[in-house]
Structure 1
Amino acid sequence: MSLGKKQDNPDRAPRLLFYSHDTFGLGHLRRSRALAAAMTEADPSASALILTGSPVAGRFTFPRRVDHVRLPGVTKRSDGSYAARTIGMGIDEVTELRSGLIKTAVQQFDPDVLIVDKEPTGFRGELLPTLEFLEQSCDTKLVLGLRDVLDEPEVLAAEWDRKDAIAATERFYHEIWVYGLHSIYDPTEGLPLSAAARSRLHWTGYLRRDLGPIGEPPEQPYILITPGGGGDGKAMVNLVLSAYEQDPTLSPRAVLVYGPFLSGESRDEFETRVAALYGRVTAVGFESQIETLFAGAAGVVCMGGYNTFCEVLSFDKRAVIVPRTTPRLEQWIRASRAENLGLVRMLDEQRDGLTTDAMIRAIRELPRQPLPSQAISDGLLDGLDYVTGRVDALLHREQERATG
């Protein structure tokens, strides 16, 4: 499949640019990486560049013809404010620096399509100068990509109003892709989008994870314990370790992936507890090829992030999801919807209690859960196929206008 050509140079191969602000966690980068891989595989001549603020971007492998540019990192403080992660600059200075780097990358790379993940105006509005530049001087197609769940409707509406995100979405974006299904959840519910903007909405389905060649999994059977990036996974990891400590007969053994952001004293304490379990739980810090561990697992205990949920469905694994409820209800909404559909089981703080006994029961009952495939509906995991088709349509439409 050919994805189209730039109208001022019909012989130039397509260029795709992804903006992934990544102030915390791995979700935005991993989603952009999956999309870039699918699109460059669909058109072997296409190339993709990911702009990311993730501090661990360099620890990932990227497919051929996919590269990344690391933006200066920022981190969120406990009071909700932001600060530069490493360089000695104030947050306004580092935002301005990031904004300039983004605009320069766009001018030099000259993308056919820019796909923005989640934030219509970027981190602290850093994307606006680039969006205005593209509106004035380029034929680049602009796409806003939204995960299946963002937050409670009222909370999201207030956040988008504060960030002027509605105005930016209405003004700049040619299409809005929702990486989920309308029948499961509508992340734009409560947003005052115009009828014209809603006509540009595309429900893609979830983004299936690569089921290609995988490595040799650890000795089986085991259950996989993954808190995603790990930065907010301490409570879940503690519960799992407590379950194995309290019940010496609990099986099968567990393989724990901390994630790159679970570190410091908490990580040291967990390492000590893992060692005392004498192989009933083993742990690794960060597994960029976590697909291998998913493929070999008898089940999964995880948090409710978008990418982990896609992996559970793609590898058809029985799963217990322990969703976070702060600072957003996103994970809880996703997990509760999925449980109602019979895709996973949720360990809910209000209903079940986040206790050691509740975790022991959940792990023991895991083998008796139905597989997700028994409840998956048509189109649920078709997201990657859908978006490659949309890119093809966008670029061919532009080519037809240029030659018509």
Structure 2
Amino acid sequence: MMRRIEDARILMYSHDTFGLGHLRRCRTIAHSLVEDYRGLNILIISGATIAGAFDYRARVDFVKIPSVIKLRNGEYTSMDRHIDLHETLKMRQSIIRHTAETFQPDIFIVDKEPMGLGGEVEETLAFLKKQGTTLVLGLREVMDAPHLLDAEWKRNDVMRKIGQFYDSVWVYGPPDFYDPLVGLDVPSSVRSKMDFVGFLQRSTSPDGEPDHKPKGDYILVTTGGGGDGSDLIHDVIDAYQEDPTLTHRALIVLGPYMPAKQRHKLVRKGAKVPYVEVIEFDNRMEELIAGATAVVAMGGYNTYCEILSFDKPALIVPRVMPREEQLIRATRASELGLIDMLLPEEAKDPMRLAAALKALPMRDPPSKSASGMTLEGLSNISQIVGEWLGRRDSEHLSVVKG
């Protein structure tokens, strides 16, 4: 049942440098919350170049900040090559601060990067803390290999700053799947703020079928944003070319961040294979995954939540560099029997990948392996937010009466 909240505002920050994961996660949470609470308005600050390509529900909007992209080696550069990275970060920092001052949120949710890209939200966190805003850090259930995350956070004194600024740390996964801060020296001041809310369930839109959805059965192949997905797509098409007995229809979605040269090459390559259809992008991936017989993916957070939400047999070929997040997630999910996994070098063998693709549609769905793997993140977040805003309204009422 939808509850009424009087003029409540939530600001969300999504740094978005390499893929769609951060924005899609923020958008999922925002849509769920406005569905549960009337009178709630949510604004998402995003650096995603295609933030405007997605539909947003009423009372959810976004502010676009200048885009920064992450290179394969983990370094960052401005999307506009004519503008220095330092200048771009200064612009982003200014827009974030000004948006917070103008919007005056009750809650500020920061996705994944505690101080923002290059520390760009630290000033805004300090400002909002003085205003009494509730500050929330949202972490994926897997961040990175502990030694890599520890080194990165120690360089920037991140753990101390999390304890200083944030009121709550939400982990978007259950505690028995993975701890994002495992292997790090986590002070009790931070650990006590951590709340494992659960995986974020996905659902389909009631607005009909997406244009690209094939008729009949199909395996969906997705690499998320696609910025580093071309190797997996080449491997899948090679498997179809090498094994004539592989006849399951495949719908391949390249992703909007795949470089144009790689995109064109893969479209031409796929056109030569009768059972393969290649498209560049669809903003309604939930519907495509829900309609698929099985899914082949690199296993980013959002795709993994969709595989669990729609209970699809899945083969994961994770990215292993520069971050190990997908490898850790896929390894853990494989241990639990939720998915099948091939390492990138294993997927390079076309006959091995073809055998895995042929077996995939007959694989048990995740629910058969782990019936307790529930997706409660959105309902838990809704309950937490409702309690916070309800307390705010009660305090306001008592001040008015007093």
For the aligned pair, the TM-score class normalised by the smaller chain equals over 0.9
- The question of 1:266 aligning with 2:259 is answered no
- The question of 1:112 aligning with 2:95 is answered no
Shift of 1:401: 4.5
Shift of 1:167: 1.8
Percent sequence identity is: 42
Structure 1 residue aligned with 2:363: 369
Unmatched runs of 5 consecutive residues or more in structure 2: none
| Distance (Å, rounded) in 2 between the aligned partners of 1:295 and 1:81 | 35
Shift of 1:175: 0.4
- The question of 1:194 aligning with 2:187 is answered yes
Q: Deviations over 1:266-286 (max 9, x none)?
A: 1111111111113x1011111
2:19 to 21, 25, 39: 25
Shift of 1:390: 1.1
Structure 2 residue aligned with 1:161: 154
Structure 1 residue aligned with 2:124: 130
Structure 2 residue aligned with 1:226: 222
| Distance (Å, rounded) in 1 between the aligned partners of 2:132 and 2:13 | 17
1:338 to 333, 336, 340: 333
- The question of 1:306 aligning with 2:301 is answered yes
Q: How many residues align?
A: 395
1:42-57 → structure 2 map (5 Å cutoff): 42-57=36-51
State TM-score, norm by structure 1: 0.93
| Distance (Å, rounded) in 2 between the aligned partners of 1:181 and 1:328 | 21
Q: Deviations over 1:347-367 (max 9, x none)?
A: 1247x4631122101101112
The code of the aligned residue for 1:154 comes to H
The code of the aligned residue for 2:11 comes to L
| Distance (Å, rounded) in 1 between the aligned partners of 2:74 and 2:245 | 42
1:2-17 → structure 2 map (5 Å cutoff): 12-17=6-11
The code of the aligned residue for 2:218 comes to Y
Structure 2 residue aligned with 1:208: 201
Shift of 1:292: 2.0
Cα gap change, 1:99 to 1:3, in 2 (>3 Å): farther
Query: For the aligned residues, what is the CA RMSD?
Result: 1.8
Structure 1 residue aligned with 2:380: 386
Contact 2:112 2:137 in 1 (8 A): yes
Shift of 1:212: 4.3
State TM-score, norm by structure 2: 0.94
The code of the aligned residue for 1:236 comes to L
| Distance (Å, rounded) in 2 between the aligned partners of 1:362 and 1:29 | 31
Contact 2:235 2:347 in 1 (8 A): no
The code of the aligned residue for 1:93 comes to E
Q: Deviations over 1:217-264 (max 9, x none)?
A: 311111001011101111110110001111122121100100001132
| Distance (Å, rounded) in 1 between the aligned partners of 2:59 and 2:328 | 36
Deviates more, 1:80-89 or 1:254-263: 80-89
Unmatched runs of 5 consecutive residues or more in structure 1: 6-11
Contact 1:3 1:46 in 2 (8 A): no
Contact 1:106 1:130 in 2 (8 A): yes
| Distance (Å, rounded) in 2 between the aligned partners of 1:227 and 1:79 | 18
Structure 2 residue aligned with 1:277: 273
Structure 1 residue aligned with 2:91: 97
Structure 1 residue aligned with 2:283: 288
Contact 2:175 2:196 in 1 (8 A): yes
The code of the aligned residue for 2:198 comes to G
| Distance (Å, rounded) in 2 between the aligned partners of 1:123 and 1:401 | 35
Contact 1:149 1:333 in 2 (8 A): yes
- The question of 1:183 aligning with 2:176 is answered yes
| Distance (Å, rounded) in 2 between the aligned partners of 1:129 and 1:15 | 20
1:72 to 66, 69, 79: 66
